[in-house]
């Protein structure tokens, strides 16, 4: 019951990336309106067995990034460019049929709201076995014992009985577990989790996070964790990408980023979270303004109007990426710098 968490994991540092996203751009265009760059040149790597976090607030493009990689964006009204090389193939140029084959078998996704991502009129068991029937060519008979095994593995009590339940009969935490079971049905090599615990209570969140952690360690699946919660990132991710206004503004290893954040936005985020282990009365220092104040990246740093470290260059030119695929930031006047 009580478990002590593992220490810093030096896993996956040197191996070839499993997913390599380069200069991903997603542009939305609505009739009669200006183009909106939801994702504006995002690059990152995910190695086997590694957990990579995409962190940011609403509107930073983290969810759109994952949907674009999965080929799940609505067909009309958007443009996707760049590349997402998964195992030597560019996912962005695959045909819809080929992408469907990858989805669910090689790459799986977990969504924020488990109730709306499960089909309400099909039993949990059918939904899990269906994935295996579709991708592994199993018969329903062969798939059922595997489904029971999966449900048990994700910690659903009395899995045999649960097979016959419908999603509304399960609690939120159990639904999310069922969804994870579905995602794991075909042993995917990459798992993308989009705010998987945001709709859940903290005690349930702790259960789900522990489960995800365990799965990554046991199966070697790579995990892309999309979240707004830096606390979740701190406990789970090996590498963290902080997104702002559609661009990665800072990247670093888990310990490095939290110990020595360079970008003022990362610093601002960390300073604006009330911490359970801080004394009362310590004033929070919030990031002023809101994303509505952003400048366009084309001729400035989008964060400049809200930034405490702003210098002249910030409102005149686009800050370039300083660093590599492991550590770096995008700022003219970074903070800290002792690492």
Partner 1 sequence: MTQTSESSSDATSDGTDVLVEASDLEVYFPIKSGIIFDRTVGHVRAVDGVDLTIHRGETYGLVGESGCGKSTLGKAILNLEPPTAGSVVFDGTDIASLKGEDLRRERKRFQMVFQDPMSSLDPRQTVENLLLEGMRAHGLDTDKDATRARLRELMSSVGLPVAALSKYPHEFSGGQRQRIGIARALSVGPDLIVADEPVSALDVSIQAQVINLLQDLQDELGLTYLVVAHDLAVVRHISDRIGVMYLGGLVEESDGAELYDVPLHPYTRALMSAVPVPDPQVEDSREQILLTGDLPSPANPPSGCRFHTRCPWKQETLCDTERPQLRVVEVDGASASHRVACHYAEQVASGEIQPHQVEAVSVESGFTGPVDGPDAPPEAYVGV
Partner 2 sequence: MNDTTNHTTDDSTDHSTDDRTEDARGARPTFGQRRKDRIDQLATAGTVDDEPGVSLIRSAWKRLRRNPIFLIGAAITLAFIVLAIISPWIAPWDVTARPLLDKVRPQSNPVPGPEPGHFLGADDRGRDLFSRLLVGSRQTLIVGVVATLFGLLGGLTLGTIAGAVGGWVDSLVMRIVDVMLSIPSLLLAFTVASLARNPSQWTLVIAIAIIQVPIFARLLRGSMLAQRASDHVLAARSLGVRPTAIVFRHMLPNALGPVIVQATLSLAVAIIDAAALSFLGLGNPDQSQPEWGQMLGRAQPFITEAPHLAFYPAGCIIVVALGFTLMGESLREALDPKTRR
The residue from 72, 284, 311, 326 that contacts partner 1 (CB under 8 A) is 284
Is residue 271 a contact point for partner 1 (CB under 8 A)?
yes
Query: What are the backbone angles phi and psi of residue 70, rounded to the nearest 5°?
Result: -80, -5
State in angstroms the smallest separation of the CB of 330 from partner 1. 18
CB-based contacts of 206: which residues, under 8 Å, 6+ apart?
A: none
In 10 A of CB 46, how many CB atoms? 25
Is residue 206 a contact point for partner 1 (CB under 8 A)?
yes
Is residue 204 a contact point for partner 1 (CB under 8 A)?
yes
For partner 1, give the closer residue by CB, 136 or 308: 308
State in angstroms the smallest separation of the CB of 282 from partner 2. 18
For partner 2, give the closer residue by CB, 172 or 305: 305
DSSP, residue by residue, 34-48: --EEEEEEEEEEE-T
Query: What are the backbone angles phi and psi of residue 52, rounded to the nearest 5°?
Result: -110, 130
The residue from 1, 5, 32, 274 that contacts partner 2 (CB under 8 A) is 32
In 10 A of CB 13, how many CB atoms? 12
Q: Which stretch binds partner 2 (CB under 8 A): 151-159, 184-192, 234-242, 290-298?
A: 290-298
Is residue 142 a contact point for partner 2 (CB under 8 A)?
no
Residue 32 contact partner, candidates partner 2, partner 1, none, CB within 5 to 8 A by sort of partner? partner 2
The residue from 76, 97, 121, 280 that contacts partner 1 (CB under 8 A) is 280
CA-CA distance, 87 to 38, in Å (whole number)? Answer: 26
């790579």: which residue's tokens? Answer: 222
For partner 1, give the closer residue by CB, 61 or 71: 61
DSSP, residue by residue, 21-88: EEEEEEEE--TTS--EEEEEEEEEEE-TT-EEEEE--TTSSHHHHHHHHHT-S-SSSEEEEEEEEETT
CA-CA distance, 155 to 209, in Å (whole number)? Answer: 12
Residue 257 near residue 326, CB atoms below 8 Å:
no
Is residue 338 a contact point for partner 1 (CB under 8 A)?
no
Is residue 28 a contact point for partner 1 (CB under 8 A)?
no
CA-CA distance, 286 to 307, in Å (whole number)? Answer: 11
For partner 1, give the closer residue by CB, 251 or 306: 306
The residue from 104, 173, 188, 334 that contacts partner 1 (CB under 8 A) is 173
The residue from 279, 312, 324, 337 that contacts partner 1 (CB under 8 A) is 279
Is residue 277 a contact point for partner 1 (CB under 8 A)?
yes
CA torsion through residues 67, 71, 77, 82, sign: positive
Is residue 6 a contact point for partner 1 (CB under 8 A)?
yes
Size of the chain in residues: 339
For partner 1, give the closer residue by CB, 174 or 185: 174
Please give the biggest Cα pair distance in the chain.
67
Residue 5 contact partner, candidates partner 1, partner 2, none, CB within 5 to 8 A by sort of partner? partner 1
Residues of this chain that bind partner 1 (CB under 8 A): 1-8, 57-58, 155, 157-158, 161-162, 165, 168-174, 201-207, 209-210, 228-235, 254-255, 258, 268-280, 283-288, 290-292, 306
Residues of this chain that bind partner 2 (CB under 8 A): 32, 286, 288-290, 292-293
């Amino acid at each position: 019951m009580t478990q002590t968490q593992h220490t810093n994991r030096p896993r996956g540092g040197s191996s070839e990336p499993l997913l390599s996203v380069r200069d991903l751009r997603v542009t939305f265009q609505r009739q009669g309106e200006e183009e909106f760059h939801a994702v504006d040149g995002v690059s990152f790597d995910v190695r086997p067995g590694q957990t990579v976090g995409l962190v940011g607030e609403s509107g930073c493009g983290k969810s759109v990034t994952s949907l674009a990689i999965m080929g799940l964006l609505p067909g009309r009204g958007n443009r996707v460019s760049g590349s997402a090389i998964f195992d030597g193939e560019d996912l962005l140029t695959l045909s819809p049929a080929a992408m469907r084959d990858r989805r669910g078998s090689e790459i799986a996704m977990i969504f924020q709201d488990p109730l709306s991502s499960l089909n309400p009129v099909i039993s949990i068991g059918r939904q899990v076995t269906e994935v295996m029937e579709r991708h592994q060519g199993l018969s329903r008979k062969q798939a059922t014992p595997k489904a029971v095994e999966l449900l048990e593995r994700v910690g659903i009590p009395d899995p045999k009985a649960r097979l016959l339940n419908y999603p509304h009969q399960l609690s939120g935490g159990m639904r999310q577990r069922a969804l994870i079971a579905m995602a794991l049905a075909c042993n995917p090599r990459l798992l993308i989790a989009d705010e998987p615990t945001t709709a859940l209570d903290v005690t349930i969140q702790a259960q789900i996070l522990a489960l995800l952690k365990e799965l990554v360690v046991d199966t070697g699946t790579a995990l892309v964790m999309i979240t707004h919660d830096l606390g979740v990132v701190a406990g789970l991710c090996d590498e963290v990408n902080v997104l702002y206004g559609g661009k990665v503004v800072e990247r670093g290893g888990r310990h490095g980023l939290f110990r020595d954040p360079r970008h003022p936005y990362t610093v601002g985020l960390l300073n604006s979270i009330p911490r359970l282990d801080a004394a009362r009365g310590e004033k929070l220092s919030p990031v002023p303004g809101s994303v509505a104040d952003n400048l366009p990246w084309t001729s400035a740093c989008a964060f400049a109007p809200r930034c405490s470290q702003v210098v002249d260059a910030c409102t005149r030119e686009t800050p370039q990426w300083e660093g590599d695929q492991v550590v770096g930031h995008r700022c003219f006047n970074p903070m800290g710098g002792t690492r």
